[in-house]
Amino acid sequence: MSTTIQMRLRFDSTFLADGDVAVRFCSQEVEPALQRGESVVFDFEGVDNMTDSFSNACFANLFKKHRGLVGNRIRFKACTPLIKDFVLSALTMADSKDN
């Protein structure tokens, strides 16, 4: 089973900026879906910007915990080049030995 999260609708914004909101979103929605064995697709249609606070709070922790799921049960859809960069730098952050 796959859960697709429409980020534009979920956060009601084209700009994702709140790290605290990102942390709650991950723990209350993404984690439970993964725990149920579902795949999660983050659909960024309509989102054109974010902050590093949001991307790191949301994705760096997720990547760190579920590295083996990235690319199969954790996927990203309709990312602009900028959004893709934010996601990839969260990946770098997750890989950092300081984190």
Partner 1 sequence: MSEHSFVQLPARAGFADMQDLIKALSVTDVNKGDIFVSMSEMEFYEPSAVCALLAQLTRWKLVEGRAVTVLPERRRNSVVGYIRHMGFFQKLGITDDGATAKGATANYVPIEEVKGDSKVDVVALKMVKAAMSGRSANDDVRQLLCYALGELLKNVQQHSRGTGYVMAQYYETGLFQIGIADNGIGIKESYISSLSPKVKGRETWSDAQWVEEAIRCQSSSKVHLRSPHGEGPVNRGIGLTMCSLFAKECLGHFELISHAGRLSHDFKFMDKPNEPAAVEISPPYHGVLCSIAFNPSAMGQISFMDLRRQALTELGMLGKATPLTGSDTMFSS
- SS3 label, residue 73: coil
Residue 29 in the binding site for partner 1 (CB under 8 A): no
Closest CA to 80 of 49, 51, 58: 49
- 18: tokens are 């709140």
46 counts as binding partner 1 under rule CB under 8 A: no
Could you give the count of Cα atoms lying within 13 Å of 98 in the half-sphere of its Cβ? 2
48 binds partner 1 (CB under 8 A): yes
Choose which of 3, 19, 29, 33 interacts with partner 1 (CB under 8 A).
Answer: 19
x-or-dash string of contact with partner 1, 52-71, rule CB under 8 A: xxx-xx--xxxxxx-xx-xx
CB 77 within 8 A of CB 43: yes
**Site for partner 1 (CB under 8 A): how many residues?**
54
What dihedral do alpha carbons 6, 9, 13, 17 form, nearest 10°?
A: -50
Site of interaction with partner 1 (CB under 8 A): 11, 13-20, 23-24, 26-27, 31, 48-49, 51-54, 56-57, 60-65, 67-68, 70-72, 74-79, 81-82, 84-85, 87-89, 91-96, 98-99
